[in-house]
Amino acid sequence: MPTQIVSFLIEPFQREPGTYLDCTLGGGGHVAAMMAAMDKTPFSREHRVIAVDQDIEAINRAQKRFQSEVSAGRLILQHSRFSEISVSSAFPPVLGVLADLGFSSDQIDSAQRGMSFRLEGPLDMRLDQSRGESAYQLLMRLSEREIADILFELGEERLSRKIARKIIEARESSQFTDSTRALADLVSRAFPPAQRFGRLHPATRTFQALRIAVNDELGELDQLLNHVLPLVMKPGGLAAILSFHSLEDRRVKRIFQKKDDGWTPLVKKPVEAEESEVESNPRARSAKLRVAEWRGMVTG
């Protein structure tokens, strides 16, 4: 949703230089749109964009794509999690923040990342493959109850206990393998035959839950909203958070509606993708954009 994001984050600040923070660089589409909009302002040379991603491959691709902007110091690339984001005090104040919580096409469509049950690959799912446990390691370590809790709480999977039991049975018989397709097939067998071939693949919620758990996505989102942004944003600055499932959206909504914590929501209902964008990018159908103004910490 680049058009809506630029409208919210860049257009209100035509008369002052500032720093913009893209917490989820991905393929660089939003960064490109933001910088193009900045070029139309009187402060195009003074604006700075800090683009962050856990995925070092995304950082490397952006280094090549935006080589001139990086060389000029207009774009700063940062390989880190939300909780590790840092903004130099030498930069202008942070006026706008974007976090697109969806996975990029490069990540979903990479078999080696193991994000999707559609592609055969290792059960990895880590955004930063240089650290942390893979999904396979997690499932090999956790108890049956812990697996069931993750699937139910993070995937809202009603058959979480049956799926967890099948994973443990496969583990105990040494038949649990480091394979996306094998896990998807195992999950499917936990469903009644009539439910295995519906519009939604039986493994959808399980894979969602494991991706969230492996990357601690909700914990990192809490860190971003509650700790990082209040430290780096200028009062009057705007934050736009783009979420793709209800667990994230509910968290963002709850934080943005806490006026005592310094936020004022600018939209009553989340902004959704236009039909033309959905046609070209079906994944945008579930996108929900919430925008809020940071007023500063409330004291007294």
Query: How many angstroms separate the CA atoms of 187 and 164, rounded?
Result: 9
Query: Is residue 299 a part of any domain in this protein?
Result: no
Question: Which pLDDT score is estimated for 14?
Answer: 63
Residues 238 and 99 in one domain: yes
Residues 245 and 97 in one domain: yes
Q: What is the mean pLDDT of residues 193-213?
A: 89
Report the domain count for the chain: 2
DSSP state of 44: T
Residues 13 and 83 in one domain: yes
Which SS3 state, helix, strand or coil, does residue 40 take?
A: coil
Residues 143 and 156 in one domain: yes
Question: Which pLDDT score is estimated for 111?
Answer: 80
Range of weakest confidence among 120-124, 150-154, 203-207, 264-268:
264-268
pLDDT digits (tens, 9 = 90+) for 32-49: 988 888 888 777 777 889
* 0.75 surpassed by pTM: yes
pLDDT digits (tens, 9 = 90+) for 242-273: 998 889 999 999 999 877 778 999 988 888 87
pLDDT band, very low/low/confident/very high, at 282 (cuts 50, 70, 90): low
Q: E strands within the chain? A: 19-22, 48-53, 75-79, 94-100, 233-243, 263-265, 288-294
pLDDT band, very low/low/confident/very high, at 298 (cuts 50, 70, 90): low
Query: How many angstroms separate the CA atoms of 78 and 27, rounded?
Result: 14
Question: Which pLDDT score is estimated for 286?
Answer: 80
User: Is the confidence at residue 235, as pLDDT, over 80?
Assistant: yes
Domain with 90, as residue range(s), is 2-106+217-294
Domain boundary among 215, 250, 265: 215
pLDDT cut 70: percent of the chain above it: 93
Residues 155 and 290 in one domain: no
Residues 199 and 276 in one domain: no
pLDDT band, very low/low/confident/very high, at 219 (cuts 50, 70, 90): very high
Q: Is the model more confident about 228 or about 111?
A: 228
Q: Which residues 6+ apart lie within 8 Å of 285 measured at CB?
A: 273, 278
pLDDT band, very low/low/confident/very high, at 21 (cuts 50, 70, 90): very high
What does the mean pLDDT of the chain come to?
89
Residues 152 and 170 in one domain: yes
Which SS3 state, helix, strand or coil, does residue 61 take?
A: helix
Residues 136 and 201 in one domain: yes
Question: Which pLDDT score is estimated for 300?
Answer: 45
CATH number at residue 174: 1.10.150.170
CATH number at residue 76: 3.40.50.150
pLDDT band, very low/low/confident/very high, at 117 (cuts 50, 70, 90): confident
Query: How many angstroms separate the CA atoms of 226 and 210, rounded?
Result: 24
Q: What is the mean pLDDT of residues 170-185?
A: 96
Residues 8 and 55 in one domain: yes
Range of weakest confidence among 138-142, 278-282, 288-292:
278-282
